[in-house]
Amino acid sequence: MKILFVSSEIAPWVKTGGLGDVSAALPLALKAQGLDVRVLVPAYRALWAAFPDATEIARPHFLGGQLPTCSVRETITPEGLTLWLVDHAQSFDHDGNPYLDATGQNRSDNALRFGLLSRVAAWISSTASTLRWQPDIVHCNDWQTALVPVFHRYLSAGIRPLSRTLLTIHNLAFQGIFPAYTRSELGLPEAVWAIDGVEFYGALSFLKGGLQHADALTTVSPSYADEILTEPQGMGLGGLLHYRKDALTGILNGLDTTVWNPESDPYLEPPFAAYSARRLTGKKQCKAALQSRLGLDITPKVPLCGVISRLTEQKGLDLLASSARELLHTPLQLALLGSGDATLENAFCALAEEFPGRCAVRIGFDEALAHQIEAGADLFIMPSRFEPCGLNQMYSQRYGTLPIVRSTGGLRDTVRDALEPDGCGFVFEAPTPSALQQTLLRALEAWRDKPSWRTLQKRAMRRDFSWRTAAKRYTEQYENLLQSPPTSDIPLSRAVARH
Ligand code: ADP
Ligand code: GLC
C-alpha cells in the first residue's frame, strides 16, 4: 500500500511542536509495517540546508487562481525515509518559524503557501500527475494540508483523484481561516462557497473544508475524539464533527524511542549521563547537571519540577504562574523552557528574578535543553486546558520524570494517577490554580518516600509508548478506507457547522 504523508513540519529540521515529532516518527513506523511511504513537506530553508542535492522529479503547474508553478524534489533522510519537497523559494525558502515572519506575525501569504502544499498533494494523487508513483492514501495533517480533499473534489474536467484521503486533527484550535477572496486566489470554484464547503462565518476555513471532504478523519487520542464532538472543545466545528463521527477515530500518538531514550540520548553527554530503569544513578547526575546549567542551587534534596511548553492558553500555564509564588516558598525548584504569550513569558521571568537559585526560566526553543529537563527533573508539569495528545508527558515517563497533568484529552489517556493500580503520575480535574497546587503538593509528598518513588519511576520508564501500536491502527484505517466508497461519491452533506 502506498501512502503520501503530507505535513507542514518534520523534526528535527522544522518543528514548532508535536506535529514535527509525529511527522518524523509515524512515517517511519508505517514503513516498518511494510507500507511504501513518501512524506511531502515544503522545501523550507532548513531542509535545503540538510538536503542541498534534492533532485527535481516533477514540475506541476495549476490553471486558474494564483498558485505558482513549483517543483517537487526528492531526497532520502539518513533514516531511509523518502522526502518529497515542494520547492517554491518565495513561499518557503525562509529562516525560522514555518508560519511566522521575522516580527512574529503570521506570514501574509500563508493561505497560498499551504494552499500550494495541499494542491501539489492533490496533483500527485490524481490522473494529472506526471510521476510514476501514485498513492493509495493521502494522509493529511492539520489545517495546512486540509484542502487536499477539497482540491480532489474540484479537480478540472477530465482529471480524477486516484487516492482516498485521511485527515488527522492534531489541534482544532488552529483552523486556517482566511478572507473570502482567498477562494479565487486558490483557484477553487464558487461551488465550494457553501455551508457544506469551505465557508465558515463568511470566511474561508481550510480545516472545515478538510473535515467536510476527507474520506476518513482521525485525531490523536481517543478522549480528544470524544471531547471535540461538542462545544467548547469542538471550537465551533463540533456540529460538523458530530455529523461525521462515524468517520472519526482517535488513535493515540506514540513516541520515537530512538530520539527519546535516556540510555542513548546524545543530549545527555557529560556532565549529564545516560541511565535506564535498571540503573537510575545517571538520573541523579542529570539533575545536578541541569541545576548547574540553569544556575539553580545544586542539591539533590529539593524536588525539581520541569516545564517545556508553548506558552499559550491551551497549555494552562497561567494556572502554574498564579500558584508558583506560593509554591516556591516550599522546598521546590522550577525549570521552565518555553515561548509564546508575552504576559506569561514576563510572569515567569519575574518569578525567576524573585527566586534566584529556585526558579530558572529560559524563553526560546531549545531541543537540547528540552531533553536535559526531561532527564534532570523529578516531576514534569502539564496543566493543559485541552490537549489533543501531548507528547511531553510520555517523554517524561520514559525519562522517569513523573508527570503532573490535568485530566483532559491525551493526558487522560496516557497518565494514570499513582493512587490507581499501576499508576505512575499525578492527575487533577479542575482547571484551577488550587487543584494544580494540591496535586503538586501530593506529588512532592510522594517524592519524599524514596523507595516507593523509585518503584513509580521504574513503572513509568517501562511503559510502552512506541509508535508500533499507532502504526498498526493507521494501517487498519487505510485498509478499511480502500474497501469503502470515496466520500466524493456521496452527495454533499447538509451538515450544519453552526449550531
Ligand atoms: P504541542 O504540539 O501542542 O506544542 P506536544 O506535547 O505534542 O505539544 O509537543 C511539543 C513538542 O515540542 C515536544 O517535543 C516538546 O519537547 C517540544 N517543545 C515545546 N516547546 C519547546 C521549547 N521551548 N524548546 C524545545 N522544545 C519544545
Ligand atoms: C498538537 C497538539 C498536541 C499533540 C500534537 C501532535 O500540537 O496540541 O496535543 O500531541 O499536535 O499530535
C-beta of 382 in contact with ligand 2 (< 6 A): no
- What lies within 8 Å, CB to CB, of 212 at 6+ separation is 149, 150, 196, 197, 198, 240, 244, 492, 493, 495
Ligand nearest to the CA of 310: 1
Atom of ligand 1 nearest to the CA of 314: 3
User: Do 99 and 106 meet the contact criterion of CB atoms below 8 Å apart?
Assistant: yes
Q: How far is the CA of 390 from the centre of ligand 2 (A)?
A: 5
Q: What is the mean pLDDT of each run of 10 residues along the chain (499 residues)?
A: 98 96 98 98 98 97 93 97 98 95 94 98 96 97 98 91 97 98 97 95 98 98 98 97 97 96 98 97 98 98 98 96 93 97 97 97 97 98 98 98 98 98 97 97 97 98 96 98 73 38
Q: How far is the CA of 483 from the centre of ligand 1 (A)?
A: 36
pLDDT of residue 81: 98
Q: Does 12 sit behind a cis peptide bond, omega within 30 degrees of 0 on the bond before it?
A: yes
pLDDT of residue 157: 85
Counts of helices then strands in the chain (DSSP H, E): 18, 18
pLDDT of residue 64: 87
pLDDT of residue 251: 98
Pocket test for ligand 1, best of 311, 391, 398 (most atoms within 8 A of CB): 391
CA distance 269 to 239: 50
CA distance 260 to 265: 7
pLDDT of residue 499: 29
pLDDT of residue 353: 97
Atom of ligand 1 nearest to the CA of 362: 23
Residue 475 phi/psi, 5-degree rounding, is -60, -40
pLDDT of residue 493: 44
β-strands 199-200, 359-363 pairing: unpaired
pLDDT of residue 156: 84
Q: How far is the CA of 442 from the centre of ligand 2 (A)?
A: 27
pLDDT of residue 496: 36
C-beta of 21 in contact with ligand 1 (< 6 A): yes
DSSP secondary structure code for residue 173 in this structure: T
